[in-house]
Amino acid sequence: MAGFQIQPPSWGEPITVENGRLVIPDKPIILYIEGDGIGPEVVTSMRRVLDAAVAKAYGGRRKIAWTEVLAGERAGEVYGKVLPEETLDAIRQYYIGIKGPLTTPVGGGYRSLNVAIRKALDLYANVRPSRYFTGVPSPIKHPERVNMVVFRENTEDVYAGIEWPYNSPEADKIRAFLKQEFGIQLREDAGIGLKPISEFGTKRLVRKAIRYAIERKRPSVTLVHKGNIMKYTEGAFRDWGYEVAREEFGEYTITEQELWEKYNGQVPEGKVVIKDRIADNMLQQILTRTAEYSVLATPNLNGDYISDAISGLVGGLGLAPGGNIGDVHAVFEPVHGTAPKYAGKNVINPTAEILSGALMLEHMGWFEAADLIYQAVEKTISAKQVTQDLARHMEGVKPLSTTEYTDALIANL
Ligand code: NAP
């Protein structure tokens, strides 16, 4: 392609897969997409911090072979296409990527590129950790109790996007079908959407959440659903979730009911407690019983609401990382968008992108480097070295630019 080539450094080694598990070499090829708006600034900052953390943790033994691929506006200029097949193929081939935000035009233009990437690669788990860093302004009294990871299903539920306008021929047909076959009378002016939740989709998501909890020694996994009202979608999500815990992880898990009936409320050593909560109550519980929740597994829409609510407790968008993870492929990205009004101004907070990078390092098993990053973020923010989004909520604090903040983080590694 004229003007751009996907070119891993000659010393880079491809990640491979053996028996369904990633094998990470010491010099892995990792793809990155700079993205639009503030994307290039946060991605540059993230790469600098990850390189420094990896060098510090492993000396010269390990190093990331960064390899750029394009999506978004730059891809449009180079390829004439905002999501080139070559980019998707590269992710298929190299397994792991990290991206900056991409523009989604409102009301027209193309559909969300983020959604397209998740769909094309079947990245079915949207993973969103939220934790507190000392000094971050928070609306609650005990933000230090927040340490939760949401596993949100990424392919079903309302995200499947199956819906029709009220006045479409499809909606007419469905109304007629429902009336004739089931005697269900819908209003003539009702738009219609479908909410599919399958056993397959639920189990692979919950399996990932439970495996994560076991491997990271997390105390519990909570299934969040609205099964009291939607019994065969949300309720089934809960039932299939318990089933997967019992049938595949019986040795490592107990239910909350067993905890009280058999163990008098004392969690036996090494067991993960599986519990469930109705979604509306869950939104209250994260405020009133914050410390009791660790890993949450949710259908798509509940996860959307709950993960934003949790991240709002500990610093909001500038600090909220994420990852979209499939069986072997994964693309990490911050929750925030392209914040176009700040693009090129060197003022935005790159922490969400950096923490997405740390999440990626954990996914690769490079925990030492990830921990260095968490410690550096803690040290930097608690010393009131912050960008304007946080400084404006802190008294008498002069904001750092994006590059000054990145320098401070690296110095604190
Ligand atoms: P946004 O880009 O996330 O920005 C909304 C506001 O959040 C900003 O104006 C700013 O608040 C704050 N903010 C976001 N990121 C920040 C950061 N790193 N540091 C400091 N403050 C930050 O949301 P949007 O304006 O709704 O969306 C803009 C574009 O991004 C749209 O095209 C949208 O589709 C796209 N988008 C992409 C992704 C993705 O690629 N995953 C996700 C969401 C949205 P203040 O104005 O209060 O300073």
What's the whole-number mean pLDDT along residues 93-98? 98
**Beta carbons of 296 and 151 less than 8 angstroms apart:** yes
Q: What is the pLDDT of residue 159?
A: 75
Q: State the alpha helices, DSSP H only, in 59-168.
A: 73-79, 85-94, 113-120
- pLDDT band with cut points at 50, 70 and 90 for residue 115: confident
- Ligand 1 atom 48: the closest Cα is on which residue? 389
- d(CA 294, CA 302) in angstroms, rounded, equals 16
**Residue of the nearest CA to atom 23 in ligand 1?**
337
Reported pTM: 0.94
Q: What pLDDT is attached to residue 105?
A: 67
315-333 per-position pLDDT tens digit: 888 899 999 999 999 999 9
Ligand 1 neighbour 207 (Cβ under 6 A): no
Q: How far is CA 65 from its chain centroid?
A: 23
- Average pLDDT score over residue span 3-10: 91
pLDDT at 112: 81
pLDDT, mean over the chain: 95
Helices 367-382 & 39-58 angle (0-180, nearest 10): 120
Res 4 pLDDT > 90:
no
pLDDT tens-digit readout, 116-131 = 899 899 999 999 999 9
Across 132-281, where does the E strand assignment appear? 147-153, 163-164, 192-193, 220-225, 253-255, 272-278
Instruction: Report yes or no: 184 and 258 within 8 Å, Cβ to Cβ.
Output: no
102 CB near ligand 1 (under 6 Å): yes
| Ligand 1 close to Cβ of residue 386 (< 6 A) | no
CA 92 – ligand 1 centroid, Å:
28
Query: Is 336's pLDDT higher than 80?
Result: yes
Estimate the crossing angle of helix 85-94 against helix 113-120, to 10 degrees.
50
> Which of the following is catalytic: 122, 172, 239, 280?
280
Question: Does 108 have pLDDT greater than 60?
Answer: no
Question: What's the pLDDT tens digit per position in 11-24?
Answer: 999 999 999 999 99
pLDDT tens per residue across span 391-407: 998 889 999 999 999 99
Percent of the chain with pLDDT over 70: 98
How much is the pLDDT for 162? 87
Give the pairing of strands 65-68 and 96-99: unpaired
- Contact 330 CB / ligand 1 (< 6 Å): no
What pLDDT does residue 2 have?
Answer: 57
DSSP letter string, 400-412:
PPHHHHHHHHHHT
Check if 384 is active-site: no
The amino acid that residue 141 corresponds to is K
The verdict on whether 159 is a catalytic residue reads: yes
291-306: pLDDT as tens digits: 999 999 999 999 999 9
